Amino acid sequence: MIRVAIVDDHTMLREGLRKVLAMEDDLEVIADTDDAREAARIAKENTPDVLLLDLRMPGTGGLEVIGPIHEASPTTKVLILTASDDRRDHVAALTQGARGIIMKDSAAETLVTAIRAVHSGQAWVDRDITGTLLEELAHRGGPEQGASDKPLLTARESEIVDLVISGCRNREISERLTISEKTVKAHLSNIFAKLGVRDRLELAIYALNRKV
C-alpha cells in the first residue's frame, strides 16, 4: 500500500480526494489536515509515503513547510497539489525538495498516476506546465559546474545540460554543438546514468537542487 497524507485547507477537496484514492487498491489515505503548520507533525507521526501539499493556504503556506516535512520524515515524498499557475512557485517548490507538481483541475486518473510515479522515485510535473517550468529554468541560467577536484560531468556534458535546461531538443543541441544527434543521445544517456535521473524533467529538477 502507498500511504498518503493530504494537507489542504479546503474540506470538500480533502473529502473528495479521500473518496477518489479509496477506490484504488494500492492507495490509502492515513491522515489529513487543513493547516500547513500541522504538516511536519503529521509526517513525523505517520511517515506517509506521499504527502499531497497545497501551495497556497491561509497563514503558513505550503512552500514554508516542505523543508520541515523532510526533516520530520526523510522518506516522505512531497507532491504539490495546486491551482496556482505561477511558475515561480513551482520552481521554488521543486528547489525545496518537492518531487512533483499536479494541478487541482487534473483528472483523477492523472492524480493517481502522479502519486504512484512519485512514490516509485520518479519526478512528476503536469504536461501543461512543463514548458513554463523549463522557461523559468532557462531565465535563471544553467547549472554551474561543481567545485570538486574531479567534476561529475565533462565539459561537453555540462554544455548539453545547459542546453537541455534551456529547452533545446536533440536536433537543436546537435546543430549548436556541431555533433550528430546520435552523439547527443549517447551523451544524454551518460548524463542520466551519472546523475541518477531518468529523463529531461528529472534532469531539470536535479539541476534546481544541486550544482552539476
For residue range 70-109, list pLDDT tens digits in order. 999 999 999 999 888 777 788 788 878 888 899 888 899 9
Whether residues 46 and 111 fall in one domain: yes
Q: Does 144 have pLDDT greater than 60?
A: no
Taking all residues of the chain, what is their mean pLDDT, rounded to a whole number?
Answer: 84
Shared-domain flag, residues 168 and 106: no
pTM of the model: 0.71
pLDDT score recorded for residue 99? 87
Task: Give dist(CA 82, CA 168) in Å, integer.
Answer: 27
Residue 179: pLDDT above 70? Answer: yes
Grid cell, residue 30, equals 492515513
Overall domain count for the chain: 2
Residue that terminates a domain, selected from 131, 166, 195? 131
Predicted confidence at residue 146, as pLDDT, reads 45
CATH number, domain containing residue 151:
1.10.10.10
| Structural domain boundaries, residue 177 | 141-209
Q: For residue 139, what pLDDT is reported?
A: 57
pLDDT digits (tens, 9 = 90+) for 103-136: 888 899 999 999 998 998 888 887 666 666 666 6
Question: In the structure grid, which three cell numbers stand for residue 99, read together?
Answer: 518531487
What is the Cα–Cα distance from 80 to 124, expressed in whole angstroms?
10
Tell me what pLDDT residue 125 has.
Answer: 82
Are 75 and 150 contained in the same domain?
no
CA–CA gap between residue 28 and residue 119 (Å, rounded): 13
Do 127 and 87 lie in a common domain? yes
Closest CA relative to residue 81, chosen from 49, 121, 114: 114
